[in-house]
A = this chain, B = another copy of it.
Amino acid sequence: MTLIQLRYLVAIFDAGLNITQAAEHVHATQPGLSKQLKQLEDELGFQLFARKGKSLSAITPAGRQVIERARIILAEARNIRALAANLRGDDKGELTIATTHTQARFVLPHAIVALKQRYPEVDVHLKPLGDAQIMGLFERGQADLALISTTGAAPDEGLSVPLFRWRRVVVVPNGHRLAALQHPLALSDLANETLVSYESSLRAESSLRRAFAAAGIVPRFSCTSRDADLIKTYVRAGLGVGVFADMAFTAEDANDLRLIGGGGLFPECTTWLVLRRDRVLRGYAAALAELIAPQLDQRDLQRALVGEEPEHWPQPPYWSELQAKIAVKRA
């Protein structure tokens, strides 16, 4: 049994039992994989895959167990290499981030630009997804880190670090009758409006719905999306009152959209950086965290990952405060 054999094994499995395709993934030849697989099976003394004629038709139950273990082994081998790369200051690598559209579009850009400036050799892969899918991807180990927002407690998978807090804004097109409201906006003002908001607001447990429910209102959504840009577009098109993250309301939006409230209407949200405890954090990944939320210290992050730190994080600042600081820094 060698690391190479295990690597080939999972490659074959992940390629859907197509050895030729797997060979491309691992930059090797097809007969090479074929032979190594056979050798591994010979050594273990049983079939990892069921054969139908010459081609692989299915994985055996035992094979599945071996692959599970092999994944752990390969992950730890990667960890050792990552450890080494960090130590020798190797600034080359990849960074896969699972997050929501809003974070990817309005929070991450400046941080990633700064990251690429400092680490030109790092390739960043963004995976904008729905909330549930983010953690799914993350748990399957297909992302190095996740950025996710909650109203209350931290996500229960992995190590969660609070980055910043934010609030929802309520937005209408210029000229909308709510734009001329004389008193501060209340939830009751929205009782008869149709709303345009995030897809996640449709879920009964969403904090938005619960806030409305507490006020005795059942909100109507004329249009929902994961994409804050789309939400703004449909607000402009007159489909209703927009409710979305304050990060997504830009200076340009102020030209034709009117921010009519948000402050205390809905519970505040926290955006968390979620890391896998079983994965070594590359230096540039820690740097990204610091670029997003400068109150964090890379070394605290690394220490928390190995469990040396009490893992207690201070209440994070509001996004607007971070935004201001970053603007100052840039000037």
Q: A-side interface residues toward B, CB under 8 Å?
A: 1-3, 43-46, 62, 65-66, 69-70, 72-73, 76-77, 79-81, 83-84, 87-88, 90
Q: Which residues of B contact A81 (CB under 8 A)?
A: 1, 44
Query: A276 to nearest B CB, angstroms?
Result: 14
Nearest first, the 4 A-B pairs at minimum CB distance are: A44-B84, A45-B88, A69-B76, A73-B76
Known A76-B72, A80-B66: A2·B3 in contact at CB below 8 Å:
yes
The docked-state distance in angstroms from the alpha carbon of A196 to that of B10 is 59
- Of the candidates A76, A77, A80, A87, the one having the most CB atoms from chain B within 10 angstroms of its own CB is A80
Q: Which residues of B contact A2 (CB under 8 A)?
A: 2-3
Copies in the complex: 2
**Do B1 and A46 have beta carbons less than 8 Å apart?**
no
The docked-state distance in angstroms from the alpha carbon of A80 to that of B65 is 8
The docked-state distance in angstroms from the alpha carbon of A92 to that of B80 is 33
Known A72-B72, A79-B69: A84·B3 in contact at CB below 8 Å:
no
The docked-state distance in angstroms from the alpha carbon of A66 to that of B87 is 12
Q: Which residues of B contact A79 (CB under 8 A)?
A: 69
Query: A79 to nearest B CB, angstroms?
Result: 5
The docked-state distance in angstroms from the alpha carbon of A88 to that of B72 is 23
**Do B83 and A77 have beta carbons less than 8 Å apart?**
no
Known A1-B3, A3-B2, A3-B3: A62·B77 in contact at CB below 8 Å:
no
Interface CB pairs A-B, < 8 A, 5: A43-B84, A44-B83, A45-B84, A45-B90, A46-B88
Q: Which of B46, B80, B88 contacts A70 (CB 8 A)?
A: B80
Known A1-B77, A2-B2, A77-B1: A69·B83 in contact at CB below 8 Å:
yes
Nearest opposing residue in chain B for A65, CB measure: B83
Q: Which residues of B contact A62 (CB under 8 A)?
A: 83-84, 87
A2-B3, A43-B84 known, 7 other contacts, Cβ within 8 Å: A1-B77, A1-B81, A44-B84, A46-B88, A66-B80, A69-B77, A73-B73
